[in-house]
Each structure stands twice: as C-alpha cells, then as structure tokens.
Chains A and B, each alone.
Chain A
Amino acid sequence: MVNTPTKSLAQHPLIDYIERLERGEALLQDSPQNVMEVVGILKSYGVVLDAYSRNLIYTSQHQFLVLFPFFKYFNGDVSPSRLLKHWWHDRINFEYAEYCMKAMFWHGGGPLDEYLDTPEFRQRAKEALKARWRGNPFMLTLNKIFPEFLPEQVRVMAYYSALGQFWRVMSDIFIELSDRYDQGEIQHIPDVVQHILNGLVADANRPITYQVEIRGQTYPIIPPEVGLTFLMDTAVPYVEAVFFRGTPFPGTISYNAQAYQIPGDQASFTYGALYADPLPVGGSGIPPTLLMQDMRHYLPDYLHKIYQATPRQEDDLLVQICATFQKSMFCVTTAAITGLAPHPLNTTDPAEKAANREYLVNWMNRFITSRVESINR
C-alpha cells in the first residue's frame, strides 16, 4: 500500500465515501439492482475463477519448467476432441489468469516477493532444478551460463501456485454468496461485503505452500515453515497489483514511456481493474475482454434479463459485464479495506476513529481517479 499526502479532510473530493465506509456502507450504493448485478456477476466470476485456479495449480505442479508447454491449458486431458475444441476456442481464456499472475509477479510486494529473493528459496530452487534437469547436460550448462534464468522461472511457477490457491478460496466465497442470495439471505450491498469479509477472515491464516513432485520425489519450493498466509501474502498483493496498479495497457490509448507518460514509480500506477475504462472492452487485445468473454457463458438468467432491458440489449454485453464486474470489485475492495482497517470502522473511540480516518484517507486518495464515482452515477 502506498502512502500519499493527506488532503484536508473537509475538502477531500471523496469525503462522502469516507463517511459512507464509516457508517458501515460500501463504496457501491445499495440498491436491489446493484445487489442482483453484483451477486450475479460474482457467481459467474466464481465459476471462471474455479477454472482459472485449477489450471494455475495444474501448471505450477505438472508443467514445472516444461520448456514448450503446448498443452498447459489442457489440465492433463489431451485428446483430439479437446484439441479441436481448443482450436475452435471452445474453452476458458486461461491466458487471462496468467496475465493477472504476471501483474502480481511484476509488481511484487509483500512477504512472498521477499521470500523469493532469499538464499533459502535459491537453495530450494536449486535442488528442484537439479532434479528436474538430471541427465540433461544442455540445460545444466545453460543454468551454469545463465544462473538467474531458471530460478526466475521457478519464481514465476511460485506465483502460478500462489494465485491459484488465492482464487481457489475466492471462487468458493463467490459461489457461496450466490447460493445465499438465492436463499434470500443476501439482500443488501453491505451483506455482500460482509459475506466476502467473513470469507477472507475465515481463511486469513490459511497457509500458502508450494511443492513439486519430480520423479516421485517431492521438492518443497514454499514449505509451510516460511509462514506465508492467504490474506497478507496473496490477497493483499493481488488487490494491489490487479485492482490498483495493473499494467499500462488500457485499450484505445497508447502510452509513450520515453515521454514519461507512465509514472517512473511503479507504485503510482493506476491501470488496475478499479480504474479500467469499460468502453474499449471487446476490442482486440484489450486484456479484460478475455475475462468478460469467459464470464458471459456463466451469467445467471436474472443478469441476462437486466442486460436485455438496456437500449442495446445484449449487443454490448461484454461492456455491460465489465461495468457490472467493476461494481463487484468495489465491493471486494470494500471488504478488503474493512478487513485491513486498524480498528473497526464503526468505532466510537475518538483516537481509533482518527486512526481509521487517516487509514481511509490514504485509500481514498488513490480512489480519486478511479471509477468509484462512475459506478455510482
């Protein structure tokens, strides 16, 4: 998280949102349609995340340092009919999962990132590499000449695994949210936020580990004793990398890095999901398009009905999904902000309240250029 200079609170452009959070409300306004949209989109997101998470974990375990991983999206089930379906693009866009993984890996941050630079990791990676390339003088020589190359690939594999484990939990949270909505237990946006928060808290200390099996022997890359946990080592870096920072590729605009159109400091990046412009979605090469394409297959009927009622009906379905998805991501962010707050946000203790305010202002400074106002319009 980045600390930016605090503005005078009364003049803060997002003071309404600070007060809203303090009242226990969410960044997204509460309305029956918003609840329906958010739950519906999170249901389809849950289905897609389940597939992403399985594939990421499969890749990290079974495609470990495969130089040409032609079949990494097949989850081990390679058959002519699968291949035909793949070429016909009757499949999930697993590339999007890798895109998010790369964003996390690139931005780094947190104990996972730090651990991957320690001598302990190097030693464990070295052992795994030795086992992986036993009897392959070419790769062993290559490893000697470029000693940073293969360990870096192991780091990437570690991120595959970490994001896979994170999304495993998130997928279950979202599917359960949808089930509870169907049963009438979720009726307001704060209920949605609370459900996500409960899920995050319940699994906060779930260990994040990673080991690979090479020739029948297990090689730990992130053993339990490193002490990495779900919330601080995957959820927080994920929110930071994917929701906030992202990569400078928003679609119809091209940036010129040489002309300093991109901030020199990676921490100042604001190209993440909370800032994304939904309008170019559907254009070739616009990354969120892949996710929206995946989600469109699993939309519940009630969400289709909402989209059908718009002027263009479902002609602009991907953009509508993206706009709805952005609403849901502000709910997830609300849960994260609430969960990470130094004190309960509805505290009456003045000192705790002041600390919370400082904490919230720091967040809100980052939201000034985000889509938070657009989603509430």
Chain B
Amino acid sequence: MLSAFILLPVLGAILISLVPNTNPNQNRPRIIALLFGGVILLWNVILGFQFDPSQTAMQFTEYIPWISWLGFNYHLGLDGLSLPLLFLNSFLTLIAIYSSNVNIQRPRFYYALILLLSTGVAGAFLAQDLLLFFLFYELEIIPLYFLIAIWGGGRRTYAAMKFLIYTALSGILVLAAFLGLVWFSGASTFDYEPLREQVIPLGIQLWLLAALLVGLLIKIPIFPFHTWLPDAHVEASTPVSVLLAGVLLKLGTYGLLRFGVGLFFEAWITLAPWLATLAAISALYGAFAAIAQQDMKKVVAYSSIAHMAYVLLAASASTPLALTAAMFQMISHGLISALLFLLVGVVYKKTGTRDVNVLRGLLNPEKGLPIIGSLMILGVMASAGIPGMVGFIAEFLVFRAAFPIFPLQTLVCLVGTGLTAVYFLLMINKVFFGRLTESLSQLPQVDWGDRIPAIILALFIVILGLQPSWMVRWSETDATALVVSPSLLSQVAQAPDQALSLGDELSMNVLPSRSGNN
C-alpha cells in the first residue's frame, strides 16, 4: 500500500514524459499531473481511515530485501509521525500542481519533476531503513534543484547552486551519522527499529548526533545554517516555494524527531539545552531579519526560519507533549507558509512586484486584490498565533510543553512570536492598506483559479484551529512512544486518549535532571 506513494508519482512522471512534444494540447502534462496528484491524495485519505492511531508499531509495513550483504533493505512503514506529513506532502503537491502557471515553459519536464519530488519526500517519510531514508532525502534534491534552476527568477542559477551545495552537505552529514551509528553499534543492518535498541557510549553518540544535527539544521534551516533558504525562496516560482516551505523543510524536523530523538536519545538530552538556545536565537534572528526585509517573499521566508525554530524548541524539550507540539507546529507551519507563499505569488503575478515600498492599498475592494488581501490577513493572523487558527494551537502547545523544561529559551521564543505580528503587520499595512497607488490602478482580473487553492488552505487553517484534536490524535501515541519505555507504552495502549498525560508524567519522572540543565 505504501509503495503507491513512491510508485504512483514515478508512473505519472513517466506517463507525462511520454506525451509527444508536438502535441498541440499543452495542457495534457498538467492534467496527468493533477490526476496523479489527486489519486495520491485520495489514497492518503483512504490510508488515514485504515490507520489505527492507538498503535505504536509501524503500520502497513512493506519489506523487500535489497542489498542484504550491506544490511540495506526496502523497508517502509507508517506511524503517527509520518502520516500527517505524508498527507501534507500529497496535499501540497496537488496544490502546487494546480497553482502552477498553465502556460509554463517545458510543461512535461516541470510536472514530471514535481511528481518526482513528491516521490522523494514521501519515500523519506515512509523509509524504515536509514539508508533508504538517505536515498530519498538525496533524491528530492535533484528535482528541486532543476525546479529552481530552470523555472526560477533572475538569480536562479546562483540560488539553485547554493541550495544544492547546502543540502548536499546536509545529506553527507546525515549519511555520516548513519554510517557511524551502524559502525559503532556493530549492527548488521540499517533497519530503524533494531538500531533503536543499540547501546553505544555517550561520547560517540554525541559526535554522531552532532553530525546528524548539523545536517538536519541546514535542511530546516536553523540559524546560522539558513542562508540558502531566502535565496531559494526568492528565486523559486510560487508552487516550488509552496513545496519548499510546506514540505521540504519538514524533512529536517522529521529527521530530528525520528533519528535525533529516536536513535540518540541520551545524547539528545545532553545537547537539548543547547538546541533550545539555538532555537531561541534562530526564532529571534528570523523575526528581526523579517522586519528588515523589503521583499514580501523574503519576509515570509525569514518568518519560516523563525517558525521552524519552534519545532526545534519543542523537539529539544522532548516530552511526549512537546513532540506532539513539534508535529503540530510542522503541520501548522506547512499550511500557513504554503498559504502565504501562494498569496505572495498571486500578488506578484498580478502586480509584477513584491516590493513592500512599491505596493500599496491592495485591499481596494474594486481595483485591488480584496479576497487575496483578506486571505493574507487571515494567514498572517494564523502565523502570529491568533486564537481560532492552527498557528495558535501549535505555538501554544510548543510553549506550554517547552516552558517547564527550558523557561528562558521559551520566553525568548515567545518574544519571537510577538515579533511575528510586528513584521507581518508592517507588511500588511504597507502593501494592503492606504490608497491604491496610481500605477497599480489597472491590475488584471483575479480569477477563482488563483483563489481556490488559497481558500482551501485557509479552511484547513481555521478548521484545525477550531478542532485541533483532528490532527493531534494521529501523532500523540507515537510521540509518546518515541521517548518513553515500552512498559509505559502498554499503559498508553490501554488508554490511548490519556497518552499525553501519562507520557508527560512519566517522562518527567524518568528525566528529572533535565529541568536543571539549562
């Protein structure tokens, strides 16, 4: 069942590439991509209905021996950590395909790459073998590199190359950590579950975790490894930015939870205060940098850096509640940043600029972009954590979970959240309020095709803000399982709705010294 997420997009990409180049119907690649995107999303929904959130074991596992002498196997599995992200990937891929320019140049290559990107990301979320994860983790770099380098803006070659260098380095470090783990633990396989049981000295764990962390922090990205992201976002086209912010960055934070917390827990606890401090610095840095930006896309990009830091903060607290919060923040950020990038994309498409000093009065109900502007206000409210939207729940959970363990770092991050309102309100005030400037008074029409993806995202943002349990229920059991002992898990399995409280209580008892570490 899970292989469908890997094979279907590949099949779609192959079909698209078989469309004759001379075909007068330029829309055919797009239609095929939409069809496959839709089927994958549907498949994901069906899987969601069959998924049992109370189980801690991997579900729907698939195992095919591959290179046995190396201990490398095709092993897929789904749990509460990967299911929401898998859904986010399918959903945003469909949104990205739909919101792509209908008259895009070289459509066959473009849509095939988007589907291959979906394969890479889905594979990484599903992989239960460290090498398989690495393979997919590297695989998604290739389509993304081309998507930026071919369909990007003026400095696309520079941005794509920078992205490639950074993320390739990230991949090498992740691989080094994985190889080191297998080497030092003496394991005969790269399989994830057996490796969790391995015991290696803390000193070595720290080194391995450090390599893994640097690799993943580049991907997230966290200050000071972030410089590739604003460039990549500014040069990437809107759908690519949506995927980049919405899903690609989540590979880094997913890696933190799955491998950082899951494989090197002891070392993780040791480094956690430093990670929380780094998260606080990154949150503040992202926020201050966003305040200084003049390009709307850069504002959203730096805001991404700030908001992804909350995931790191929650992950470093690593209680079951904190890990659930980290998951929620990932989904929340995925939806909100996708919405904001989509809307900035529409503004750019209609006005030809993203400069906050040129744009003005776009909320004009007749001649401006009133619905796009209203959705943007909703998006920034969600991002700033206004109650009633998904951002509030996510940030509240993160701060609630992290505060008892890292109070100072959490308070600094809270300041960062306050600053979100500052930079976004500055942007909204400049771009959307006031009198529409004369040069913008003849903007082209906005059709519903431009609005529908943003409206769907906005609906998700509000619905999950009002009904967060629809999201939390998928991951709370597995978030608990990641940090607590198997004996507790049996209790949790008996009372899954109390997983968080049980887990929090026990992990506090298990890890009493951590609150004194910061």
Contacts and interface: CB of A to CB of B under 8 A. Distances in A.
Chain A bound to chain B: yes
Interface stretch (A113-121, A315-323, A353-361): A315-323
Nearest to B437: A279
Interface string B416-454: 000000000000000000111000011111100000000
Interface stretch (B211-219, B230-238, B361-369, B498-506): B361-369
Nearest to A320: B366
Interface string A276-315: 0101111110000000000000000000000000011101
Given A252-B361, A279-B436, A319 B367 contact: yes
B367 A316 contact: yes
A173 B226 CA distance: 70
A280 B444 contact: no
B117 to A, nearest CB: 35
B367 A311 contact: no
Contacts of B445: 311-313, 315
Contacts of B366: 279, 281-282, 315-319
Most buried by A among B361, B367, B434: B367
Contacts of A279: 361, 364, 366-367, 435-436, 441
Given A279-B367, A280-B364, A282-B365, A311 B444 contact: yes
A253 interface: yes
Contacts of B441: 279
A284 B434 CA distance: 14
> What class of interface size applies to chain A in its complex with B?
10 to 19
A201 to B, nearest CB: 37
Contacts of B365: 282-284
A151 to B, nearest CB: 41
A281 B368 CA distance: 11
B392 to A, nearest CB: 27
A55 B446 CA distance: 38
Interface string B344-375: 00000000000000000100111100000000
A147 B444 CA distance: 58
A227 B361 CA distance: 50
Interface string A310-338: 01110111110000000000000000000
A315 B445 CA distance: 7
Nearest to A314: B445
Most buried by A among B435, B442, B443, B446: B435
B410 to A, nearest CB: 40
Contacts of A283: 364-365
Main secondary structure of the interface of A (DSSP, over half): loop
Contacts of B443: 311-312
Contacts of B361: 252, 279
Nearest to B365: A282
A317 B445 CA distance: 12
Contacts of A318: 366
Given A312-B367, A318-B366, A319-B366, A280 B435 contact: yes
Contacts of A313: 445
A41 B229 CA distance: 53
A282 B435 CA distance: 13
A213 to B, nearest CB: 44
Nearest to B443: A312
Main secondary structure of the interface of B (DSSP, over half): loop
B387 to A, nearest CB: 25
Nearest to A284: B365
A312 B435 contact: no
B434 A252 contact: yes
Contacts of A316: 366-367
A280 B437 CA distance: 11
A316 B441 CA distance: 10
A283 B442 CA distance: 17
B444 A282 contact: no
Contacts of A253: 435
Interface in A187-232: none
A282 B361 CA distance: 13
Given A252-B435, A253-B435, A311 B364 contact: no
Interface in A230-255: 251-253
A77 to B, nearest CB: 32
Contacts of B444: 311-312
Contacts of B364: 279-280, 282-283
A277 B435 CA distance: 10
A251 B361 CA distance: 12
A316 B444 CA distance: 10
A367 B435 CA distance: 23
B225 to A, nearest CB: 44
A283 B367 CA distance: 10
Contacts of B436: 279
A315 B369 CA distance: 10
B437 to A, nearest CB: 9
A255 to B, nearest CB: 14
Interface string A31-47: 00000000000000000
A277 B366 CA distance: 13
A284 B364 CA distance: 10
B49 to A, nearest CB: 41
A183 B367 CA distance: 35
B362 to A, nearest CB: 12
B400 to A, nearest CB: 38
Interface in B280-313: none
A88 B435 CA distance: 30
Contacts of A251: 435
A312 B443 CA distance: 7
Contacts of B367: 279, 312, 315-316, 319
Interface in A249-285: 251-253, 277, 279-284
A292 to B, nearest CB: 9
Contacts of B434: 252
Most buried by B among A253, A279, A283, A313: A279
A208 to B, nearest CB: 37
Nearest to B363: A283
A42 to B, nearest CB: 21
A269 to B, nearest CB: 20
Contacts of B442: 311-312
A299 B361 CA distance: 28
Nearest to A283: B365
Nearest to B436: A279
A317 B434 CA distance: 20
B114 to A, nearest CB: 31
Contacts of A280: 364, 435
A18 to B, nearest CB: 27
A280 B366 CA distance: 8
B302 to A, nearest CB: 30
Nearest to A251: B435
Contacts of A311: 442-445
Contacts of A284: 365
B438 to A, nearest CB: 8
Contacts of A282: 364-366
A326 to B, nearest CB: 15
A317 B367 CA distance: 9
A126 B436 CA distance: 51
Nearest to B438: A279
A243 to B, nearest CB: 22
A316 B370 CA distance: 11
11 contacts: A252-B361, A252-B434, A279-B436, A279-B441, A280-B364, A283-B365, A311-B443, A311-B444, A311-B445, A312-B367, A315-B446
Interface of B: 361, 364-367, 434-436, 441-446
Given A312-B445, A317-B366, 10 more contacts: A277-B435, A280-B364, A282-B365, A282-B366, A311-B444, A312-B442, A315-B366, A315-B446, A316-B367, A318-B366
- What 3 pairs across the A-B complex have the smallest Cβ distances? A282-B366, A282-B365, A316-B366
